[in-house]
Amino acid sequence: MSKKVYIFLADGFEDIEGLTVVDLMRRAGITITTVSIKNTKQITTAHSITMLTDQTFAETDFTDADMLVLPGGQPGTTNLGAFAPLTDLLKNFYNNGGRIAAICAAPTIFAQIGLLHGKKATAYPSCMDGLGDAVRLEDNVVVDGNITTSRGLGTAIDFSLSLISQLLGQEKADQIAESVVYK
C-alpha cells in the first residue's frame, strides 16, 4: 500500500525545498499531494514561478496521511504559519502520532504551535532563534521522534531522502539517491 504525504504550498515558498520533496517522493512511489492553502490551486513561488497544486486545502481530506510536510522560503513560511486550518491540522496530526516535517524557515511554525518543546531541531541559520526552547542542532537533517527538520535549499535532497527512508526504509532511500546520482 502506497504511503500518502501532503506538502503545503503558499505563495512565496522556496521552489527547490518544496519541489525536491515532491520529485524524489514520486520517484520512490510515494503518493505525495501538493496542497494550496489558498482558495485556488495557483501558487507563485519565492522566485516568481507560477504553478498549480494538485488540490486546495479546503477540498482535501487528510485522514489517510502518513506525513505532512512544510517547505520554507519567505513569505511562504509566514503565509503557512498564519493559516490557522493548517496549524490546527499539524497539531492534531502530530498529537495523534503522525509524522511532520519542515525545512528552512518552516520549522519555526512547529515552535509557534508548541511542538518543539525540548525536541532536537534545526532550521535555516537566521531562523534558529525561532525554534523556541528546542535543542538547536546544525545537522543537515534532524529527526526527533515524529518531527523532522532541515536547514534549507542546500539540504533539500538530504531532507527528502530522510523522509523516504522513514516511510519506505533506508534501502529505498539509497536506491533513489543512486538513481539521481546523489553523492
Query: pLDDT by residue (tens digit) across 113-126?
Result: 999 999 999 999 99
Q: Which of 125, 159, 127 is nearest to 143 (CA)?
A: 159
Cell of 57: 486545502
Domains contained in the chain, number: 1
CB-CB neighbours of 58 under 10 Å: 11
| Residues with Cβ within 8 Å of residue 134, at least 6 apart in sequence | 111, 116, 117, 118, 119, 120, 121
Query: pLDDT by residue (tens digit) across 36-78?
Result: 999 999 999 999 999 999 999 999 999 999 999 999 999 999 9
104 is catalytic: yes
> Residue 141 belongs to what domain range?
4-179
Query: pLDDT by residue (tens digit) across 106-162?
Result: 999 999 999 999 999 999 999 999 999 999 999 999 999 999 999 999 999 999 999
Widest CA span in the chain = 40
Looking at 104, 116, 157, 177, which residue is catalytic? Answer: 104
Domain with 122 in it: what CATH number? 3.40.50.880
- The whole-angstrom separation of Cα 57 and Cα 136 is 31
Better-scored residue on pLDDT, 19 or 1: 19
